[in-house]
Chains A and B, each alone.
Chain A
Amino acid sequence: MTPTMVEPKLKEKSIEVAWTPSGRAPVPGGVAVAAFLAAMLGMLTLAVVNVFTAASKGFNAWVHSVGKLWMPGAEGIGPYSGKETLALVAWIGTWIVLHVILRKKDVEISRWFIVFLIGVGVATTLIWPPVFEHLAELIAGH
């Protein structure tokens, strides 16, 4: 008799080969839109606050004092601690508000995602030092 090989049978449960369709009720698009708009607003807050700290010494000192309210080592970190704090507050704060407003609304993700991309592009442009320093000079009137 010739030797017989028996192919091992793979148990579907133990090996993940692909995804299977979700059986859950559809989650409204507003949940995702709230998440990425809040992320965008946090990034924009960081960028805008940074422009104004470069323009005004008084505002810069206030931003530093915000960081010193809670962040360990904020004295050494400097105004950067306050910029992080304000960006964090804007991000989480707007996320909570937008989530409550949009969580049951099936808004169009594509449109708002393009808004998000534009916002991220603006924020990135604003944190590029030659740009924010120029804007700060304009704001300060130099």
Chain B
Amino acid sequence: MSVMHEPHEMREASTGSLVVVVVIMIASALAFTLMTGPFDKLLGPGAGALPAALHGLIAFLYLFVGTIGLYLGWRLMTGHIRAFADLQLLAVVAATFSLLAICFGNWLYIYYRAPITDSPRSYFVKNIPEVHKIFFEFKEFGALFTLPLAVCAAFILWRYGLQVVERKWLRYSVAVLFGLAFFYLVVAFGLGAAVAKLKPA
């Protein structure tokens, strides 16, 4: 007796279904935590605990997306990109995370530089001024550089479409834009994490 397997159609999961799965996973994890855990303790006691949590969360997600973008950018540069549509999507997500991280960073900055003796800036200026005067100031400006770079990469990828792959200097420029955005992201993320560890807002 012969066993015949019917030919079947393989379908990739759509982006929509992926988004739904991610949203359900995050929502269920958040709901479980909020219902069972002392969430306020998780955020911390500082006045800037909420913007700090949001800024850190978005920055972490951006780091994750930026890392994938860096890899796909390198694949683009070498002409071996297979997931071009994914790179286009990723570029938009990266630009969005950059904008959100800057917005939440602005909110957090109010608490960082609050004119009180216990604010992180007051603490650093009094105890370790180099942290504020060199590392934090470089971080706050470098972080802003990620937005025009990420938006520029996303714009070129969508405006030119597959012509990016076909034209050498467009490939190079988009890949370098991803690389530069990743550099400033890592600088801002690393210095931000260090500052938050030394004196949370």
Contacts and interface: CB of A to CB of B under 8 A. Distances in A.
Size range of the chain A interface in the assembly? 35 or more
Contacts of A8: 5, 7-10
Nearest to A43: B145
B156 A32 contact: yes
Contacts of A138: none
A50 interface: yes
B118 to A, nearest CB: 15
A97 B111 CA distance: 37
A59 interface: no
Contacts, number: 140
B163 interface: yes
Interface string A35-69: 11011001100110010000000000000000000
B173 A22 contact: no
A129 interface: yes
Given A3-B3, A4-B4, A14 B109 contact: no
A32 B107 contact: no
A71 B170 CA distance: 35
Interface stretch (B23-31, B38-46, B59-67, B77-85): B77-85
Contact of B11 (A14, A31, A77): A14
A102 interface: no
Given A22-B166, A130-B134, A81 B82 contact: no
Size range of the chain B interface in the assembly? 35 or more
Given A76-B110, A91-B148, A31 B142 contact: no
A129 B162 contact: no
A92 to B, nearest CB: 9
Given A6-B5, A19-B82, A84 B152 contact: no
A117 B149 CA distance: 11
Nearest to B110: A76
Given A36-B177, A113-B172, A129 B145 contact: no
Given A39-B151, A76-B113, A84 B2 contact: no
Interface string B147-183: 0110110011001111101110110110011001000
Given A3-B2, A32-B160, 17 more contacts: A3-B3, A6-B5, A8-B9, A9-B7, A15-B12, A16-B85, A19-B84, A32-B170, A39-B151, A43-B145, A46-B145, A47-B141, A78-B109, A80-B109, A83-B141, A116-B173, A127-B137
26 contacts: A1-B1, A1-B2, A2-B2, A6-B6, A8-B5, A10-B10, A11-B9, A14-B10, A19-B81, A32-B173, A35-B156, A35-B159, A36-B156, A36-B177, A38-B152, A43-B144, A43-B148, A73-B106, A76-B109, A76-B114, A84-B106, A91-B148, A109-B170, A113-B169, A124-B145, A130-B134
